[in-house]
Chains A and B, each alone.
Chain A
Amino acid sequence: MYAIEAENLKKSYPKKIPLPFRKVEWVNAVNGISFKVKKGELFGLLGPNGAGKTTTIKILTTLLEPSGGDAKILGYDIRRDVREIRRRINLVAEGERTLYWRLSAYENLKYFARIYYVPKSVEKERIEELLKLVGLWERRNDLVMGFSRGMKQRLAIAKALINDPEVLFLDEPTLGLDVQSAIFVREFVRKLVDEHKKTVLLTTHYMAEAEELCDRIAIIDHGKIIALDTPEGLKRLVKDEDAVEIKVKDFNPEKLRDAPFALAIVKEDPTSNLTTLRGQIDEEDLPKVVEWLVKNNAKILSVEEKEPTLEDVFIKLTGRAIRD
């Protein structure tokens, strides 16, 4: 049995509340996603903002009903067995406002322990264990409103472990965190899988994070999975081609639409008018690319050969880069 099974999942949102006798337009967010996650696996959904990652997580965590397709969590049907699933999973949602800021760290965990029906006999012990695990035991009686963004995220993770879930969903867990907190979260998540044998599904738009953490990654764009493999397997898609990064000045990115090469913008600095472009370009094609850029008023600042990354995979598959 798989921990997560998604079969041709679809989700459309109405533009208005679909009341009876009201004609409503629907917008597609997820367009037939299928994947399976093994127990004890750390699976990543990688894609740009608006790709359908959060919607997929919301469907799998029973917060949203799919418009089509089926999904099972630990063998339970997401439409029929909502409460069974909710007992066995938890979610670290995107953003910092998922806790009660006017309650202390301890009060937050106690509250969630109660609404997750954690047995009274283990409640106290589990709260203490979790607060110690995320390094907040000393601050347990402080109101959350006084916590830093990183501390709030650590508490959100502790909250998500309060019911000892078999499957944990993390939606952009390091978004907006400082470097140190992001490292803590990444290491902690990996430990949850390796040592605590949890199944984790995380969404991210950070390439390095997906590459570093995940056992397998599904790249998602416009509500569809466009590639699914291990990080190494995905990188093999671009292994035989060289990744080239070109730094240019005064280049109009609009011109890229007519470019005869697969180049994507990975960084833009409007104040100094600098643009970093990236793509898979053969050695013999490189002079033609440079010539084309110069013809389009770009001042070439540097041209560097790079190790292929997941960014290159995404560029190869979509012609665009995933940007922050």
Chain B
Amino acid sequence: MSLLAVIEKELRMFFRYPLRVISVTLIGIVFLLQFVFFGEAVLGGRYSQILASSTGLGDYPTYALIGYILWWLFASPMEAYVWGVRRELQRGTLETNVLAPIRMIKFLIGLSLGWILIDNVLMGIVFIFGVIVFKIPVSFIIILKAVPILILSFIAFLGFGMIFAGLVMLFKHIGPLTQIFEFGVMFLSGVFFPTTVMPKTVQAIGNAIPLTHAIEAIRGIFIGKSYAELIPTIEILLVLTFFYWLISYALFKYAEKLTRVIGYGGY
């Protein structure tokens, strides 16, 4: 009930700024369009043999749309935690919430789930827009096959994002740093181009990010791979999910303890 109350409060407040809904959707669409057109211009058209031979998926708009939507899904929990706490600090309401018997972790998850819910709806709109505008070959079977991978990816992303929940409690003003990180991930995880074009060390860093493997798995489904063929990728995703949840929980507990020493930065 208390978790739902936090989510409901966030949703109510989000929709009290109607322009925000329009601006977030438009930014999402503009971002997608420019990357797809840029890619097509560089590749000399929609289809690329080079891309197909290195990734198995030669249709650039499909390639970019999958990467972009998953990147959005990946960034959403981070944004939600970081800006959720930031907004509460700006409103002066963080300590009012901390003082309530609701657990801090539950409150933060509520804050982020509200945001993620909104984000995913907007992302869905951008996805449908991309599918229609770029005539992406997507079927009901593909979507159905992608759902379990998407759920697993999302759990991994939530765990990864919670690291930022711990960080934001300690450092408070990490919004810009988070954005730099998100855009860095865009390159490291092969959102718009294959990571194979980058040095091996950079690729190794990219491999530690769950998004890289989530994108690989979903692209695999789009080119008709079976679950059996995707097992190695799914295994890595599972290991990373466990690893990041462990790390983020430990960091969060440490941050929670330290925050009671340094204060919540409230009133």
Contacts and interface: CB of A to CB of B under 8 A. Distances in A.
Interface stretch (A60-68, A183-191, A227-235, A292-300): A60-68
Interface in B81-111: 91-93, 95-103, 107
A18 B258 contact: yes
B1 interface: yes
Contact of B5 (A61, A65, A83, A111): A111
Nearest to A159: B96
Contacts of A120: 1
Contact of B267 (A64, A97, A117): A97
Interface stretch (B6-14, B67-75, B194-202): B6-14
B260 A64 contact: yes
B262 A14 contact: yes
A115 B261 contact: no
A102 to B, nearest CB: 5
Contacts of B99: 61-63, 86, 90-91
A162 to B, nearest CB: 9
Instruction: For chain B, give the interface size range.
Output: 20 to 34
Interface string A95-137: 1011111110001001110111100100000000000000000
A93 B95 CA distance: 9
B170 interface: yes
Contacts of B266: 63, 93
A111 to B, nearest CB: 5
Given A18-B258, A97-B91, A97-B93, A63 B263 contact: yes
B96 A98 contact: yes
Contact of A17 (B17, B102, B258, B260): B258
Interface in B134-182: 170-171
A115 B267 contact: no
B2 interface: yes
A103 B266 CA distance: 20
B91, B107, B261 — most chain A CB neighbours (10 Å) = B261
Given A14-B262, A95-B267, A103-B13, A112 B100 contact: yes
Interface in B101-143: 101-103, 107
Contacts of B91: 97, 100-101
B249 interface: no
A94 interface: yes
Contact of A107 (B12, B92, B261): B12
A63 B12 contact: no
A100 B9 contact: yes
Nearest to B96: A98
A17 B93 contact: no
Contacts of B8: 111
B10 to A, nearest CB: 10
A186 B267 CA distance: 22
Contacts of B17: 102
B261 A18 contact: yes
A116 B12 contact: no
B264 interface: yes
Interface in A11-66: 13-14, 17-18, 58, 61-65
B36 to A, nearest CB: 36
Given A17-B262, A63-B264, A115 B6 contact: yes
Given A18-B258, A101-B91, A102-B13, A115 B263 contact: no
Interface of B: 1-2, 4-6, 8-9, 12-13, 16-17, 91-93, 95-103, 107, 170-171, 258, 260-264, 266-267
22 contacts: A13-B263, A17-B170, A18-B258, A18-B261, A62-B260, A63-B264, A91-B99, A93-B95, A93-B267, A95-B92, A97-B91, A97-B267, A100-B9, A100-B91, A103-B9, A110-B5, A112-B96, A114-B1, A115-B5, A115-B100, A117-B1, A120-B1
Closest 8 CB pairs of A and B: A97-B92, A114-B5, A65-B260, A115-B102, A115-B100, A86-B101, A102-B16, A93-B267
Given A63-B260, A102-B17, A115-B100, 11 more contacts: A17-B170, A58-B263, A63-B95, A90-B99, A97-B267, A100-B9, A100-B13, A103-B9, A111-B5, A111-B9, A114-B1
